[in-house]
Structure 1
Amino acid sequence: MAERSVGRRAFLRSTGFAMGAAALAACAAPAATGSDDAAAAAEPAVVTWWYAWSQLDPAVETISGLESFRDHMGGDTTVDYRGSTNTEAVLTALAAGDPPDGGSNMDYPNLWTRGVVFACNDWVDGSDVINPDDVVDAVWQGGFYDGNLIGVPSIESFLWYGLNYNAQHVEEAGLDPDDPPLTWEGVFEWHKALSKFDEGGNVTRIGLDPIDAMAGEPDFISLSYGHQWWDDETQAIDLNNELLVQGIKMQAEFFRHIGPDNFAGFRSVEGQGAWGGAFNAQAQSMIIEGYWHAGETTIQQPDVAVHNRATWAPVPGFREGAKIMATGPHMVQIFKEGQNPEGMFKVSEFLHNHEACQIIFEQVGWIMGIESWLPTIDADAYPGLRFYIDGINDVTDWLVGRRSPLHWYVNTQLWELREQVYRDLITAEEAVAELQTRAENEWEAQGLS
């Protein structure tokens, strides 16, 4: 078992992320009365929870069947959960006046700025279950906007960045799995050595998709190159930046080596998708993902997982030695127009119990940053996980990610413009200039000024 805990205060200080007294501001969540509680306990209740993940369902089913869960909910409660449901589906339900009670793995800041979710400060302040001091600070404080807790951090929230690789592929290519590259230049050499083509020139295995999973997001490539495109304090957007230009140029080289159309054809094959699909099929040798890759791969494809190893995500050669990492909360957001907001909060409370954390860890492979539970994790339960458990104190560059209300908008636009770069339709300089303009226009269009 892992014997050391993550230092919460050190973790927060290292991110440079802190909240002022405004974090204690009152919220608009409805206060339950004693009579309301009694009525809820006397009648069967339904809590409707939608989330974008596809793999969480078995754990939710297990948790909702626990006697301890029923006791916590105060009666016979059914959790009507729906996986693989995205933000757009929730917006449609909101427009129809029939949203779920809660949502997770969605565009949290955007839903908050739309005014459709409760702030949860008062609920948490009155909770005997949730202890904010027992949650890694950067995770907990990452749930605050303008002093409001916009959801209950829970489910899974730990470390986001690492280069995971198939050691068997590496050995077969004549490379040393015990000496992985830590720079983009070195990873590109591995990419060329690990990629395979058939006699017709069609790619049959890729080394690394440089924008797969976490690597595709603007937060990642910016931090890798020593830049942050979003300033949480001033709300300034800095995308038209030379460091981002360099990052896009580097990522483009991975596509050019394979060929843009060749790469697209590879991805179109069933079972060779992103976010672990091609890695599980052994058609992809490396992937930049968070700690969850270790557990998910073990659960989904154990014969592949035994070859998985993890190390630091790459940085450019001029930043060699930098060790980057991000974190941030997933959460349960509670919709104002939901039918059972108090019930949804009670579900989110239970997710802070060690019993629920352990079920999610064992059945899905996920970790929630609960300080008192983290030391109980077996760092060797999943190949590659130990890197994330042991490496936390060696990080040099921290980020609390996905903070901008425009994060997912910028992410989508970056994907479009980056493809134009690696297809040589525009330059990287033109791409970041256009990205900056689009982001500023969207900021105005959403009334965020």
Structure 2
Amino acid sequence: MARARGDGLTRGRCEMRNISFSRRRVLVQGAMVATGVGAAALLGACGATPTPQVIEKEVTKIVEGTPQVVKETVIVEKQSTVEVVKEVTVQVQASAPAVTTIEWWPGWPEAAMVAIAKRFEEKNPDIKVNVVSNYPEMQAVLAAVAAGKPPDILADVPYMELIARGVILPLDERINTSTEVSLTDGDIRKELWEVFAWQGKHYGIPSVDTAGREGMGFNLNVIGEAGLDANNLPTTWEDVFEWHQKITKYDSAGNLSIIGMAVMAERTPACSYGDPWMWPHMWGFKYIENNKYSIDRPETVEFLNVIKQFADSVGVEKLDGLSQAMQGISRGAFGIGKQGMQITYPSGPAGVWQSNPTQKYKFTYVPVPASRKGKKIQTAGGHAGMIMKDSKNPDPSFKLAVYLTQKEACDILFEAIGWIGVRKSWQAQVDMSRYPSDVAENIMFFQKSLDEADEVWYNNDPIESITETEWGKAYQGVMYGKMTAKEAAATMEANLTKELQKVLGTSG
């Protein structure tokens, strides 16, 4: 009877404590009662609460694909002779980072741009760059836009023309929140930012070939052989023409053997693709302002007549023959010691040194008319990373555009082409030891001149490629005697005004 009361008390206390039994524990207790130890076991179960033991157990978890050993505390409760272990299993799914592919149309030089893309991918494994090597001609870009398949980022295009058509993404918000580029810290010159600005917004990250756009090059060997003083270089067009006449020589058959200056070679015909129309700058005026052209004016007539003067002095037929003979030669006659003077690009100093290393060259400011003698002028331009408005990947594209301003990308282009990087901080540390000191000085002239010139010009021409076409018609018409300089200036302004009205949808 005592045992019966004890059993009842034990059962009642257990019910009050609300202990639940697992199926396994009930079976174990049944076995214990059958062997004569059940009462003692039950009394023990309803006695003082046992002290839990704390055991540290090692659990291996996979986090982001990397095995890690994590110590997990496991509570083990001892109830009678039965252990109930509470374990937690954590499973972490290992996954590779998502990769975004962006399409880049960088233009020239293809090999260097491919190398930049590869280095960028190494630093950004979540971004793949598809470099499209075909040259990004204006019509190809517009066709891609019309088809709904534009590139994500591009360069080496008629920048303002695409911006004005509304197909380029403004970047001010991204620039202003970036910790890597700034409109105001001066590391990238203000003028270079403004080259790619339109109606108060900025559309490009200046990056590639952004030194001053032109310099007057002199072959010191050629001018020395002509008896001219290399320490007193001409600075006006009037003086340059005199030197041109003294340098120019003919062979016994009357063909040009050395020319003083082929005035419309290399830089001087350009008006687009990062190289603004420079002739108005030399004469001290802006040819377009507030979307209005100012070309039909005395200064334009004057520089068109300067061009004709040079052409007439040797004959356009001989100039054509020289041009054809020099096709495929870097910098033409100037690059192989057959021309005394030429207005060239920032890549000119490295280019002529590579093609003609035995002769010496000097690069300085372009000439101006006698009425502006003493003025040192330069033009801002070059190339920028621009993101298409319909890009599906604007953020990784912006990252690539910024990368083009940074040391690794600048080093690649400097090694390949001799282009100076856009940042002043890069320019301060660039290693020029691969070049002779005079070549290094010539290369740096194009960059320093942006800071030291009296005037730095840039154009915001919304139909710049059409301007280049009309400029070609104008100067060639004058050179070949098909129209006067006055007629050419008037025709050029009239045609451009009509074309601009079509693009902007205005009537004047």
Shorter-chain TM-score bucket reads 0.7 to 0.9
What pairs with 1:274-289 in structure 2 (closer than 5 Å)? 276-289=331-344
Greater fraction strand: 2
How has the CA–CA distance of structure 1 residues 45 and 352 changed in structure 2, closer, same or farther, with 3 Å as cutoff? same
- 2:314 alignment partner AA: I
AA in 2 matched with 1:254: F
Structure 1 417/76 Cα, relative in aligned 2: closer, same or farther at 3 Å?
closer
Q: What residue is the counterpart of 1:125 in the other structure?
A: 176
1:167 equivalent among 215, 220, 225 = 220
Give the CA deviation at 1:202: 2.5
User: Residues 203-352 of structure 1 correspond to what in structure 2 (within 5 A)?
Assistant: 203-217=256-270, 219-231=277-289, 234-271=290-327, 276-298=331-353, 300-301=354-355, 303=357, 306-338=359-391, 340-352=393-405
State which of 104, 112, 122 in structure 2 corresponds to 1:59.
112
In 2, Cα distance between equivalents of 1:103 and 1:278? 33
Counterpart of 1:88 in 2: which secondary structure?
helix
The superposition leaves residues 264-320 of structure 1 with CA deviations (integer Å, 9 ceiling, x where unpaired) of: 2221235366x724422334332212433223334x42526x522112201112221
Aligned partner of 2:253 in structure 1 is: 200
Corresponding residue of 1:34: none
The alignment status of 1:445 with 2:502, answered yes or no, reads: yes
Aligned-partner Cα distance in 2 for 1:171–1:448: 55
CA distance in structure 1 between the aligned counterparts of 2:96 and 2:450, rounded to whole angstroms: 43
Deviates more, 1:236-245 or 1:337-346: 337-346
Change (3 A) 1:52 1:207: farther
With over 3 angstroms needed to count, the CA separation of the structure-2 counterparts of 1:208 and 1:92, relative to structure 1, is farther
Q: Which residue of structure 1 aligns with residue 467 of structure 2?
A: 410
Q: Counterpart of 1:90 in structure 2: which amino acid?
A: V
Residues 43 and 382 of structure 1, relative CA distance in 2, 3 Å threshold: same
Whole-Å separation in 1 of the counterparts to 2:431 and 2:249: 36
Cα 1:79–1:279 change in 2 (3 A) is farther
**Gap change, CA 1:423 and 1:148, over 3 Å in 2:** same
Match for residue 149 of structure 1 among 189, 196, 202: 202
Distance 1:432 1:211, change over 3 A: same
Aligned to 1:433: 490
With CA pairs under 8 Å and 6+ residues apart, which has the higher RCO, 1 or 2? 1
Contact 2:165 2:503 in 1 (8 A): no
Cα gap change, 1:321 to 1:213, in 2 (>3 Å) = same
Q: How does 1:35-74 map to 2 (within 5 A)?
A: 42-53=97-108, 56-66=109-119, 69-70=120-121, 72-74=123-125
| Equivalent of 1:104 in 147, 155, 172 | 155
- Counterpart of 2:426 in structure 1 is 373
8 Å Cα contact 1:161/1:324 also seen in 2: no
Question: What is the one-letter code of the residue matched to 1:279?
Answer: F
Does the CA-based 8 Å contact 2:155-2:386 persist in structure 1? yes
1:225: Cα distance to partner? Answer: 1.5
Larger deviation, residues 122-131 vs 257-266: 122-131
* Identical pairs, percent: 26
In the alignment, the residues of structure 1 paired with residue 238 and residue 441 of structure 2 have an alpha-carbon distance, to the nearest angstrom, of: 26
Residue 352 of structure 1 aligns to a residue whose secondary structure is: coil
Based on CA coordinates, which of the two structures has the bigger radius of gyration? Answer: 2
User: Offset at 1:86?
Assistant: 2.4
Q: How far apart are the structure 1 equivalents of 2:253 and 2:159?
A: 45
Q: CA deviation at 1:343?
A: 2.9
Read off the aligned partner of 1:285 and give its amino acid letter: G
In structure 2, the residue matched to 1:137 is 190
Return the offset for 1:429.
0.7
Instruction: Tell whether the 8 Å contact from 1:73 to 1:347 is kept in structure 2 after alignment.
Output: no
SS of the counterpart of 1:446?
Answer: helix
Match for residue 420 of structure 1?
A: 477
SS at match of 2:143: helix
Deviates more, 1:387-396 or 1:160-169: 387-396
Q: For residue 3 of structure 1, what is the aligned residue in structure 2?
A: none
CA deviation string 1:120-172 (max 9, x = no partner): 22232333322332211111232221122222221221212321121111112
| 8 Å contact kept, 2:211–2:380 | yes
Q: Give yes or no for contact 2:117–2:129 (8 Å, CA) kept in 1.
A: yes
Q: CA deviation at 1:408?
A: 2.5
For 1:158, the equivalent position in structure 2 comes to 211
Amino acid at match of 2:456: W
Shift of 1:438: 0.6
- Residue identity opposite 2:233 in structure 1: P
SS of 2:425's equivalent in the other structure is: coil
Instruction: Give 1:382's match in structure 2, choosing from 419, 428, 440.
Output: 440
Residue 397 of structure 1 is matched in structure 2 by 455
Report the count of equivalent residues: 400
Deviation by residue 1:224-278 (Cα, 9 ceiling, x = unmatched):
12222112xx3321000101110110111111112112212221235366x7244
Q: Could you tell me which amino acid in structure 1 is paired with residue 385 of structure 2?
A: V
State the distance in 1 between where 2:485 and 2:199 align.
34
Q: Secondary structure at the match of 1:129?
A: coil
